[in-house]
C-alpha cells in the first residue's frame, strides 16, 4: 500500500518533451562542473567549446543555448570559432542604408543586425572569435569590469607574441592607431553573450568597405601584419586560453557542442 501511494505521487517523465539521454547529458555536465569547482578551490569553471568554422546564425543559437542553461545554475562557457564572411551591426546606430548593406552582400558576405554594443564590424576566416557566456555573479557584477578584463586578456595575448598593444578611449584593443581586436557584448541579468574578435591572419581587405566600429581616421591590423609572418587561429587559441584563465582567475575544461535539438529559447543572443 505504501509503495502504491508513493508511486501515485511521482510525476511521470514526459519522454517527448525531455528525452532521457538529453536530460542525463545536462545533468552530467552540471555535476562535473560543480564537482570540479569544489575540487579547484571554488574558482569558476568555464567550459571551452571549439566550434571551428560556423555560420553566424548558428553561433547565435549556441550562445542562446548557454544563456538558457544559466537559468538552472552556473554554466560558464567560452565559445571559440571562425565565421564565413559576415558584417554585423550593433545597437548603437540606427539601421544602415539598404544600398550600403546590399553592396556588402554583393561582396559575398552576409549582413546581420545584432543586440550587442558597438557599430558595424567584419568577421571572417582567419579571425579568432570568442563568445564568453558567463554569469558575472560568479566573477564580479560589473559590465565595465568585464569589458576591461576582456581587453586585458587580448593585451596579454599580444604580449605573448611580442606585440605591444593597449586600450584607448574607444573600446577594443589597439596597436598604435590600428585596432587588432574588436569587442562588442550583450549582458542581460549579468549573463554575457557576444564577445571579441581578434584578427590573426584575416584578409584585411574586407574592412575597407566599412568604417570599422564607426571610428573615423583609424585603421585595422592583425597579428600576422604586425609580425610579418602567418599567425593562424590555431596558433593563437592556446595563448588566448592561457590569458583568459589567468585574467579571469578561472579553471577551463573541454566541452562539447550542444546538439541541434537543445532548446535555444527561440531568440538570438
What are φ and ψ of residue 64, in 5° steps? Answer: -65, -35
Integer angstrom CA distances of residue 20 from 13, 15, 246: 9, 7, 37
The helix-helix angle for 233-248 and 143-160 (nearest 10°) equals 130
Facing residues of 179 across strands?
174, 220
Q: For this structure, is 5 an active site residue?
A: no
Sorted by sequence, the CB contacts under 8 Å of residue 255 that are 6+ apart come out as 29, 47, 48, 49, 77
DSSP per-residue codes, 236-268? HHHHHHHHHHHHHT-EEEE--PPPTTS--TTS-
Three-state DSSP at 71 gives helix
Q: Is 96 exposed, middle or buried (0-12, 13-18, 19+ CB in 10 A)?
A: middle
Active-site residue, from 181, 187, 213, 250: 213
Catalytic residues: 213
Amino acid at each position: 500500500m505504501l509503495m502504491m501511494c508513493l508511486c501515485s505521487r511521482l510525476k511521470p517523465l514526459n519522454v517527448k518533451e525531455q528525452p532521457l539521454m538529453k536530460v542525463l547529458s545536462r545533468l552530467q555536465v552540471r555535476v562535473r562542473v560543480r564537482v570540479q569547482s569544489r575540487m579547484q578551490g571554488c574558482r569558476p569553471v568555464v567550459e571551452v567549446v571549439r566550434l571551428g568554422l560556423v555560420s553566424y546564425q548558428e553561433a547565435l543559437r549556441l550562445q542562446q543555448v548557454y544563456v538558457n542553461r544559466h537559468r538552472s545554475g552556473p554554466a560558464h562557457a567560452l565559445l571559440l570559432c571562425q565565421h564565413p564572411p559576415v558584417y554585423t551591426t550593433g545597437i548603437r546606430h540606427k539601421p544602415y542604408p539598404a544600398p550600403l548593406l546590399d553592396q556588402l552582400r554583393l561582396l559575398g558576405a552576409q549582413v546581420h543586425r545584432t543586440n550587442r554594443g558597438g557599430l558595424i564590424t567584419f568577421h571572417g576566416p582567419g579571425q579568432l572569435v570568442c563568445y564568453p557566456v558567463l554569469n558575472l555573479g560568479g566573477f564580479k557584477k560589473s559590465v565595465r569590469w568585464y569589458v576591461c578584463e576582456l581587453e586585458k586578456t587580448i593585451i596579454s595575448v599580444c604580449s605573448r607574441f611580442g606585440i605591444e598593444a593597449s586600450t584607448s578611449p574607444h573600446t577594443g584593443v589597439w596597436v598604435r592607431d590600428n585596432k587588432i581586436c574588436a569587442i562588442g557584448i550583450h549582458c542581460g541579468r549579468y549573463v554575457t553573450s557576444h564577445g571579441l574578435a581578434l584578427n590573426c591572419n584575416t584578409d584585411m581587405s574586407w574592412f575597407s568597405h566599412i568604417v570599422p566600429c564607426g571610428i573615423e581616421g583609424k585603421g585595422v591590423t592583425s597579428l600576422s601584419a604586425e609580425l610579418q609572418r602567418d599567425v593562424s587561429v590555431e596558433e593563437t587559441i592556446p595563448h588566448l586560453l592561457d590569458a583568459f584563465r589567468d585574467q579571469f582567475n578561472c579553471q577551463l575544461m573541454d566541452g562539447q557542442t550542444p546538439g541541434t535539438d537543445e532548446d535555444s529559447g527561440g531568440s538570438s543572443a
